[in-house]
């Protein structure tokens, strides 16, 4: 085990020993390669640099209560990467290459997996880029797929404590029928100015209104939004929202725990009616929302009076992380035990 301050990990990059690479050339994928370098040798005319041909995933491996290491729902990440690749005309990564690369990356860097009880996990970043040179606007002929890992703590510095968020309408993360539903870097680049301003004004992140009407909730910064009211788990449905695997899991858990699940358009006016609210994603898991301020109207919506997460956020978080850390039975078959 590496000499790392496990309990004070932030969500950031920590150098590990190995990463895994695979190249698509001459019409076929090659063999996996193990690398110790943090650098990529890339042609200056690579399509990822000029035309945005790149996509990535975020996933986690957990050291459980029984000391076994579990990878959470990796097949869903593979499916989403395939969808992203198709969305920007890249060569999709075969399932067996994706799985083997993720397994190898975890196994070779297992000394960086945070110990059980520290609240940390090993974050995996599968990345697919157009590495072949093109000057005209067209898909590359060559691609690089790689997986690197890093030990992480909570995405928001507050951890599992309510955060403040801000509704905005003067920036758009993604256009209708654009790339909002696939995990490509351009969506995140488009969110940076809004996110930075939200931080400067004292908020964890910005909640984007839908780009077309400005009447509905889209993404909550780098995560999906959900609200709880009247025994219902309600989350936005939009062609511009990334299909979060965490949100997918929470919807299944919510239904299993007796909540009615609704995936639909969620009007900004409905914020006043929620009993609890949260943001969810691989990085954040669940970030309970304590307060939302509408930047345009000045309206403030409070969801935590005592500084703690609401009861349903707590139950959902405990059940999901319990499965990930092997504390409760994985009745859904979500986790793959690696070793």
Give me the DSSP letters along 164-193.
EEEEESS--S--TTTTTTS--HHHHHHHHH
DSSP 8-state code for residue 107: H
User: Residue 69 to residues 59, 114, 120, 164, 339: CA-CA distances in angstroms?
Assistant: 13, 10, 13, 33, 6
Helix axis angle, 245-256 to 74-87, nearest 10°: 130
Q: Phi, psi at residue 223, to the nearest 5°?
A: -140, 170
Contact 322, 330 (CB under 8 A): no
Is residue 183 annotated as a catalytic residue, yes or no? yes
Enter the tokens of residue 157. 């510095």
User: Residue 297 to residues 170, 195, 212, 269: CA-CA distances in angstroms?
Assistant: 13, 19, 19, 11
Helices and strands (DSSP H and E) totals, the chain: 6, 18
3-state SS, residue 213 = coil
In 3D space, the residue among 316, 124, 306 whose CA is nearest the CA of residue 235 turns out to be: 316
First to last CA, the chain: 15
Please tell me the total number of residues recorded for the chain in this structure: 339
Round the CA-based radius of gyration of the chain to a whole number and report it: 20
134: Cβ–Cβ under 8 A, 6 or more apart, which residues?
45, 47, 50, 51, 140, 141
DSSP 8-state code for residue 16: -
3-state SS, residue 94 = coil
Looking at 7, 183, 212, 229, which residue is catalytic?
Answer: 183
Active site residues: 183
């Amino acid at each position: 085990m590496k000499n790392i301050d496990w309990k004070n990990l932030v969500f950031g990059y920590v150098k590990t020993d190995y990463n895994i690479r695979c190249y698509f050339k001459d019409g076929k994928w090659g063999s996996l390669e193990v690398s110790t370098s943090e650098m990529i040798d890339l042609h200056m005319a690579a399509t990822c640099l000029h035309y945005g041909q790149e996509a990535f995933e975020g996933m986690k491996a957990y050291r459980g209560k029984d000391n076994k290491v579990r990878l959470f729902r990796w097949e869903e990440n593979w499916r989403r990467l395939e969808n992203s690749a198709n969305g920007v005309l890249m060569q999709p990564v075969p399932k067996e290459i994706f799985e083997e690369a993720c397994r190898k990356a975890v196994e070779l860097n297992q000394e960086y997996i945070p110990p059980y009880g520290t609240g940390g996990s090993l974050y995996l970043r599968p990345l697919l880029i157009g590495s072949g040179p093109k000057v005209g606007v067209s898909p590359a002929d060559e691609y690089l797929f790689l997986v690197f890992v890093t030990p992480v703590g909570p995405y928001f510095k507050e951890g599992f404590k309510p955060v403040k968020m801000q509704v905005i309408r003067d920036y758009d993360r993604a256009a209708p029928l654009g790339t909002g539903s696939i995990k490509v870097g351009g969506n995140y680049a488009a969110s940076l100015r809004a996110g930075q301003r939200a931080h400067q004004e004292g908020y964890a992140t910005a909640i984007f209104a839908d780009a077309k009407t400005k009447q509905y909730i889209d993404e909550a910064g780098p995560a999906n939004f959900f609200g709880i009211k009247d025994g219902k788990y309600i989350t936005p449905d939009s062609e511009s929202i990334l299909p979060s695997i965490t949100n997918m899991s929470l919807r299944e858990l919510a239904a299993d725990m007796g909540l009615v699940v609704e995936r639909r358009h969620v009007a900004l006016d409905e914020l006043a009616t929620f009993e609890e609210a949260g943001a969810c994603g691989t990085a954040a898991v669940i970030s309970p929302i304590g307060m939302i301020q509408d930047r345009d109207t000045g309206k403030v919506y409070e969801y935590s009076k005592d500084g703690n997460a609401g009861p349903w956020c707590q139950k959902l978080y405990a059940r999901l992380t319990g499965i990930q850390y092997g504390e409760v039975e994985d009745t859904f078959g979500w986790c793959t035990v690696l070793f």
